[in-house]
Every structure is written in structure tokens, then in C-alpha cells.
Structure 1
């Protein structure tokens, strides 16, 4: 039997007791042992990683391919849309894609010293971009064409809006493009884009745009264009713009939308607009003359009042409003100058007589009411006859030509007629000759007495004046004078105006002094329905009683009534007179005197035996 020393050692699972002093060779984990992996595990891990990288590279390449393809498609589509836009002419673009309704409101903001007008225009505008590039859907579209158009509409919705910048717009008659009627300058406009809009106008966007308008200074060319358009019944103009810039996005947009940039030079657009029926105006056409200003304006009230330093004017007038009710307009204070033409009716030789202004007004239907105020300008002595003729016409109930201009548009003159009062005024009333005597002197009779008359101005004329002199021209009738006016007696201040032809019945004599008669005037109480009232008297001393040709028998019959009658005979008086007056506040002539001629009157006088 072998001894214990010779028996093999059996490991019981217990490790060797560690050394009390560890060395640098002592393992960190004494209780564990390291077993290296085999080659199979390493190969499996490597293959897994290769498969992951392959998938990632495949996904990246597919994504990149899709992006490249999408970019190419978008680029091709964008190029095709841009090419279509470039092929569309300006006229076609305006006709198919741009829709304008209005203007709905027009506000005058300012009028510059050189005649330009700043206005704010409210209109409704829409841009059918789908029609512009041809991507609006149609019934006969195929699948691929529908997809192509859908992408186009999607791109328009992403672009959303455009900014439109225009240089100065020149408006000319289409028949004569070389004549500029007006020039317009606008600020950049922000316009939304639309595709497939509805058939009504609900999709249009309300815009408010400030516009500077510089009308032509060639007034005759403008008037000729208006008259020709009225005869044609159509307004045909051409708009010319040197440069148009269309950019994507709003005014202050700096995003990718700015990549959309279209520029056009020398853009011409023809604009035709049929003149619709206008309330208060005749239908336009070849046989319809353009209505004058006098046909459109009705003077309702007119007033004149004297002040120490001036003559104040005020009036209320109505103007036919031909503008459709949907259009709104507001006007600021507008100044005007009223001038009187010379005897030759030449506007170049006109005399400014008053400066007036209209109060702010807006459009009302069927007529616009204008409130006008102003003052009479200083009148040079050389122009006194022109003003005298105007005043005399008004007091006779007659119209007079006037010329209206504005300091803002000095080259634009409007010729019109200033109407007389609606009711013909009876200026001279109760005309008679007090203490009239007929004294024979040789073969003629001399008339002596005191001419008496009441001067009653029309309603609204509250004037302080003195009647200094009168020059009557009277026809004497056997009995009351007829109810008529002798329009050709003393109308123009002629020293020897002709007799009326034919002579009125029962007229037998004429009384007309060779010289003016000094007169006195006194203000009377003013009735409620009249203007200023004055009593005027003048002494008539030894003025010849001129027997009318062929009326000697009528004169002898009248004298017989005086001699053989118990109450005398009634002599009718009919004629006109000239007066020389001083008006307070009116600086005319050397001493402020103004002569009015051709003022008609009718009166009577009783001639008794004591008068012979």
C-alpha cells in the first residue's frame, strides 16, 4: 500500500490562499478567471455590423435619390410655370388673371402747388394665378395633367401673395398715344394670389392705395378727348408703364418667396370702358352733344352783402350726380377763381372778379349740394364796364358768361353761364314823375318834374349803396303802358339808342335827357322777401318831349283828354334807365362808382290841366 506522500493530490475546489503581500502580477479579480472568446462570436458580431451599415447606406441613397428627383421635378415644374408666365402677353394677363372692381371710394388727400392730386383709392382687386399659368382644373384633364396642375396650385398656395411695383403710369388716348392725358404714381402693392376663384366677386380683396395724379396742362386736348369719348360712347385709353416688377411674398418678406421675380419693360395695356347710362345726363352717342357745365349746375340761392372792406358772396348750388350709388367720394375745400370774359369773349382777356371756395362735400343722389363762399376781388378801373354789364344782366334776370379756374389747375378753364334769378326781379317799382309839367317851347313841349322810383334788389342782395346819377329813357303812352320790356332801348349805354321797331301801340312820345340827372337815394325798410330797398329821386328840368314819328295824332288825342277831362289823363311810362352807384366795399373806378345800364321799368303818371 502506498504511503500518503505517494498518493496523488486531489483538488477540493479551494484556491490557494493568497499571498499576504500582493505584487504587480497579482490579478485584479482574484476570484474570477478570464476566458477569451472564440472566432465564431467575433465573426457573428462583424456580420451584424456590416448588415446595419448596409441598411443605413441604402436608406441614405434612397432618400437622396428621392430628394434629387423631387428637386428636379420641382425645378422642372417651376421652370415650366415661369416659362408659361413669360409667354403670356400683358394684355392677356390683364384680361385673364387680373380683376379690378371699383373704385368704391375716392378721397382727395392733398393738392400740390403744381396741380398734382394725392388721392386714396379703395378698390377690390384679385389675381387669378391659376388662370395666369394655366393650372386651374378642367373637366377634360387626365390623371397626369391633373397631378401637374395640382402641384401648380399647391405652389401658388405656398407663394400666397406677390408684391407689384410699377414705374409712372402714362394714360393716353388710344387714338393718339403721343398725347398724355395724365400720369399716375402708386406705391408698391401687396396682392394675394388665388386659384379657381368663384364666378362672383366675393373672392376679391379690398385694397386701399394712395395714388398721385398729375393731369395734363393741355386743357383743350383733355376736353377734346372727353367730347370724343362721349360721342363714341366708350372711353378708350392706353396705359404705358416703363417697368413692372413682380416679386413673390409680401412687401417686407425676405424668405424664399423672393426667388419668384418677374420683370417686364415697356408694358402697354389697352383699356376700353363703355360709358353707362348716367342719371341726369343724356345718353352718350354720336347725336348727343356733351352737356355743358350750365346743364349740370343749378343755382338755388345767391347772396351778396356789403362790408366795410369787401363784398362777401355766398351761394348754394346743386350738381347732377352721375356717379353710381356704390361709389363714395369725399372732397376737401376746393378754391376757385371766377372771371368775366371781355366783350370779345376771349378767356385770355378775362378779368378775375371773385375768389370762392366750396365747403367739403360727399356724393349724394340724385344731386350734390354745394355750399360756396367767397369775396369780390379788387377791380381795376379799366374792367369796371365788364363788371357793370355782369351785374346789370343779373338785375335784368339774364345770364352772363363766366370763366371758372382753380389755383391748383391754372391752365384748365371752364366756361359756363351764371344764371339770373329764378324769378325775374322787378328792380324799379312805383316809377312816376311827381309834379310833371309840359311847357310848350316853340314847336315842342318841354317836360319838367321829379322822377321818383323805388329800387328793390333781389332777395339775398343786402348791399349798402348810393345812387348818384340816373339816365332814364322813357316812352310815354296814352293810358297804361303794356306789360312788356323794351329790350333794345338803352341796353348798352349808347348816347342815342334807337327806338324800338316796331313802335308799341299807343306810344306817342319819348323822354330822354341828354345828360345824366343827379339823384338822391335813401335806404328804406327791407321787407322779408326782398333784398335792400332804396328810394331814388332826381329832378327832370326842361327835357324835350319828343313826339314819335307818325304819332302826332295820338299826342293830340292825349292832350285833348287833359284839356277836356275832369281828372286829367293817365300817361304810361315804359323804358329803361342807367344808374351810377357807389357800393360799400367794392373798389371800382376812381371813386368806387359803377354804372349799370338797361335796367327796365314800368310806371305811370297823371297829367292834369295844371300840368300844361
Structure 2
């Protein structure tokens, strides 16, 4: 029998005998043998070691997995963060930043010292996928797709960033144009944006714009930009901070931030063709930007009040709306040998933008004028009354130093200021020197154009008259006369006009006094929508009557009609006159009244001369 057979096999009791106890009992010896006790300890410790081993293995693998995942995430975040930090500002703006608008602009305030505050509404968004090059493409491979998907997940998790910029310095090629500042702004992030702009987020942002104090720089920049057809500026920021999350958010996203210094970006915008204006590439047509539709000037006891309606061309896109508060302006007259002369202060009523033009309601008053400015005001009015657009300048105290040239439109056809001109009781007689002299009483009606309803007193006149044999044909005067109307000489009589060349048919004599003629004016009722109206009378006494060169025959024929005609002869009169008027309410500095001279006022009429007046 083998050794295995010598070992007693465990007995299996199939009867009803009592089984041996597995655990110690009262009959179990207190001291068991050493071999039995060691065997039982091994039986208990083995499964416990296996459990600890398994737990340690699971913990180690889990820890290593977490560390590896963390390293992968850190590497990916570092990769995308490094890529984001390496993108230049210009590339980021061109590739990722999408801005549409402004959709509305509200002017909040404007002061000369601090500049302009506006509320700007628009739409904005950042195509982070384009900036980081993680937008999905059809030809992406498996690894590229996984890599981009992970980046897109990170962008979606971050959701938005907050941008905080220091003051933005906007400069042209050489000069500072303006400083712009605004509060921190939320920028939503997206990847794979749709082709439309539905993914953009609306914003409403208060912006402070402080233009340069040197307004000539702004005007020069505007002229150069229009001439070049391009706006070319550089925007520079000393400090820029981009942090993760929304503006008021307090989460782990705020730990992600990017700081940059000395950020610059070049901005080039082509000026589009603006309907109603010539294409860019030439000088700015300032005179075509503003037109006067209606005006009223009326006298009060102490000043001249102005009300007007003007139309201003609006070059902004139709989708831009803005509410503009009251704006002050000063109207000036150009002076060739001195600084422009301010003549009126006006202000606009609050208005909203409209297209293609903005209608402005204007109210103001005429400023006190120096006596030295009277010639320029007289020249302005004379040009206006001669149907010639008068040049003016427009400035605003809000933008010191910028003066915009414009034109004050003259009425067309030219107004007939002097009407019903005649010479009553006219006498023509020889003088001791063999010359001829004329006497009589000049009657005329002075009618100001529509919109000028001022108190008027004509206190002296200066007629320059041609005498015709028979009524005047009514033809327009020579163009050279119009040029003479613009000449002003307040030191004495108006400048002498050269005789027309050639002389008008049937004209035979010329009457021009040596000095102003005192006159008396009486206000009369205005007809229709015309301006102020007065009737004027002035006596002429022995004023030299000069027979025109080569017209002695015409003169003798006229004298013959007067002497031998039963009803005398009808003489036509035509010429230009100057009038000195006192305007009630026109303030004159260091003077007692608002007197000015209006020259170049054309007139024509007729007078019947009988032989008793010869």
C-alpha cells in the first residue's frame, strides 16, 4: 500500500451520530497543539491579503489614470492656451471678432471739456473656433476630428470671456484723433457658427469719446480721408485683460485669464459711395451737406430773433438710429482781411436721425455786432438780395476750432426790393456852367424778401440812374453790375459804376448824386407772404444830369417831346440804388443803433415830364 493509502481518510458519518464541533466548546482543550493553531491563522490571513492586493491595485490604477487624464487635459489646455496667446491682435480681430452695427446710437451728453458720451447698441460675438482653428471641416481625419472636438468642448464649457481694456488711443498717421473708453464687455464664444448672424449676442454699451483739443487735426483727417476714399487709423491699448466667464461670474472660469500690453491694431475702412454726394476722392463738399429750407428773422425790442428749418445730409446707414440732444452752433461771416465775424448763435431742437436727410428745427438770435463788421453784413445782405448765394461759416462751441463752410441760399428769382420807383415833379434845367441838373422827389417802395420781418427805417438813399426816352425795355442789367453790387464802401458814397458798354438803346442821360440823399420811410401793410414793407421818399435838388456820350441827338429829341408834346414826354428810369437802413432790434456794440447799408438794389420805373418842368 502506498503512502497515500496510509493516511486515514476523513470519516463520513451517515448515521445519526453527533458531528464533531467545528468551534471550541467546553470540552475543547485549552492548549491546542502548535501545529493546529498555525494552520488556522494561515487559513484566515490568505483571503485578507488577496483583498488588500486588489484594493491597492485598483487605487493605483485609478490614481495613475486620473494623473494621466489630468496631464492630458493640462497639455491640451496649455496647447490651446498657448495657441490663443500667440495669436496677434490683428489676426484675432480679422479672424474671430464679429461685430455688426451700431444698430442704435443715443447721445447722452457732450461737453467741450470732456467730450462725448454715447450709448451704442449692436451685436457681437467671437468665433473661437476660427481663432484656434478648431472649427470642423469635411476633410478632417479621425485624430484631427477628436482633437477639434475636444477643443470645441472646452470652448462650450468656457462659454464666454470678459474683456477689459484700458483707454483706446485712436491716431491717424501722425496725430492723436481721440481717446475712447468703455466698461468691461462680455464676449460670447462659439465654434462652428452658422452662416447667418443669429449666433451674435446683442449688447448696449456706454462709450466715452474724448476728441483731440486740436480741431484742425480732425478737420484735416476728415478731408484727407474723403480725398483718399479710405479711413486709415491705428487703435492702441496700453493694457488688455481677457478672463474666462461672464462679467459678474464667480467661478473657476475666472482663473483663466490672459494679460497683454501695448496692443495695437490697424483699421482700414473704405468710404462707400453716399447717395446724394459726389464719390469720395475729391474735397469734401461741405456746402452740399447743409441746406436751408425756411427761415424767419423778426424784430423784438432788444434783439433779432431767428427761427429756421434746415436739412442736413445723413451719411450713416439706415439701420443706425440715434437720438441727438440740443446742439449749439455759431454762424459766422468770412472776412478776407481778418478773422471770421460771428453774427448769430443758434441751437437745434432734439432730433432723431432720418434718411437720407435730417430735418433740424433751429432757433437763436443775432449777436451784437461791432461797427467794423457792418460792411461784411451789408455785403452779405447785398449778395443775398441780388440772388447770389452768400458764403457763411458754421462752427460749434462743442468742437472748438472746426469751421465748416456753407452757403446761405438766395431767393430765386431775385427779389424785387425796390418797387414802384418814380420821380415826381421832376425838373431838368441848365446850370450856369452849361451843364444840366435834375430836381424832384423820388418815390419808392422797399419790400424785403419773405422771411425777413424786421422793423425797418430807411434814412438815406443813393440812386444811380439812367434816363431813357420812353419806358425801359425791362432787360436784365449787365453782368458787370452784379459784380459791383458786392462792393462795399461805408466811408462815403457807394462806388461809381462804369457806364454800360454798349449803352442801352434810347438811354440818353445819367443821374448820380454826389452824396447820400436823406429820406423818410413809412411802414405799410405787407402783401401776401412778403417781408417787411416801407414806402420811401427822398428829394433830389439840382443833381447833375450827364448826357451820355454820343447820345446828344437822343437828348434833343426827348427835350423836343417835352416842349412840343401836349402831355409832355414819358421818361424811363433804370439803375441800382443803395439804401442805409436802421434795423430795429439789431444790436451794435458801442453804438446807438443797428444801421447798415444795402447796395446794388436794382430798380426801374417811369416818370412823365411836362414842359412846365423844363
TM-score normalised over the length of structure 1: 0.88
Deviates most, 211-220 or 466-475: 211-220
Q: Which runs of 5+ in 2 are unaligned?
A: 1-24
Structure 1 residue 52: deviation in Å?
4.2
Q: Does 1:563 align with 2:553?
A: no
Q: Does 1:465 align with 2:461?
A: no
Structure 1 residue 47: deviation in Å?
4.6
Q: 1:464-502 deviations in whole A, cap 9, x for unaligned?
A: 121111111112122222332332556434555132341
Q: Within 5 A, what are the aligned runs for 1:283-322?
A: 283-285=279-281, 289-322=282-315
**Equivalent pair of 2:178/2:212 in contact (CA under 8 Å):** yes
Q: Distance in 2 between matches of 1:161 and 1:202?
A: 16
Q: 1:172-223 deviations in whole A, cap 9, x for unaligned?
A: 23xx2x2222221122111111111112222222212221112233344333
CA distance 1:471–1:297, change in 2 (3 Å): same
Q: Distance in 2 between matches of 1:208 and 1:34?
A: 94
Q: 1:97-147 deviations in whole A, cap 9, x for unaligned?
A: 111122222221111232611112222211011111121112232222222
Q: Residue in 1 aligned with 2:168?
A: 169
Q: Residue in 2 aligned with 1:251?
A: 247
TM-score normalised over the length of structure 2: 0.88
Q: Residue in 2 aligned with 1:233?
A: 229
Q: Residue in 1 aligned with 2:581?
A: 581
Q: 1:126-171 deviations in whole A, cap 9, x for unaligned?
A: 1011111121112232222222211111111111111111122222
Q: Distance in 2 between matches of 1:97 and 1:366?
A: 33
Q: Does 1:188 align with 2:188?
A: no
Q: 1:484 aligns with which of 438, 457, 476?
A: 476
CA distance 1:335–1:488, change in 2 (3 Å): closer
**Equivalent pair of 2:513/2:543 in contact (CA under 8 Å):** yes
Q: 1:539-559 deviations in whole A, cap 9, x for unaligned?
A: 111211122222222211221
Q: Does 1:98 align with 2:134?
A: no
**Equivalent pair of 1:246/1:261 in contact (CA under 8 Å):** yes
CA distance 1:413–1:33, change in 2 (3 Å): farther
Q: 1:206 aligns with which of 202, 208, 214?
A: 202
**Equivalent pair of 1:405/1:412 in contact (CA under 8 Å):** yes
Q: Distance in 2 between matches of 1:68 and 1:252?
A: 32
Q: Distance in 1 between matches of 2:257 and 2:517?
A: 86
Q: Residue in 2 aligned with 1:601?
A: 603
Q: Residue in 1 aligned with 2:127?
A: 128
Q: Distance in 2 between matches of 1:362 and 1:123?
A: 18
Q: Residue in 1 aligned with 2:333?
A: 340
Q: Distance in 2 between matches of 1:409 and 1:298?
A: 21
**Equivalent pair of 1:403/1:416 in contact (CA under 8 Å):** yes
**Equivalent pair of 2:423/2:607 in contact (CA under 8 Å):** yes
Q: Does 1:378 align with 2:380?
A: no
Structure 1 residue 45: deviation in Å?
5.6
Q: Residue in 2 aligned with 1:540?
A: 540
Structure 1 residue 569: deviation in Å?
2.1
Q: Distance in 1 between matches of 2:536 and 2:495?
A: 24
Q: Residue in 2 aligned with 1:67?
A: 66
Deviates most, 219-228 or 317-326: 219-228
**Equivalent pair of 1:469/1:579 in contact (CA under 8 Å):** yes
Q: Distance in 1 between matches of 2:419 and 2:296?
A: 21
Q: Which runs of 5+ in 1 are unaligned?
A: 1-31
Please state whether the residue corresponding to 1:108 is helix, strand or coil.
strand
Structure 1 residue 46: deviation in Å?
4.8
Q: Distance in 2 between matches of 1:212 and 1:252?
A: 22
Q: Distance in 2 between matches of 1:458 and 1:316?
A: 17
Deviates most, 113-122 or 349-358: 113-122
CA distance 1:489–1:235, change in 2 (3 Å): closer
Q: Distance in 1 between matches of 2:366 and 2:196?
A: 54
Structure 1 residue 438: deviation in Å?
1.3
CA distance 1:34–1:221, change in 2 (3 Å): farther
Q: Residue in 2 aligned with 1:111?
A: 110
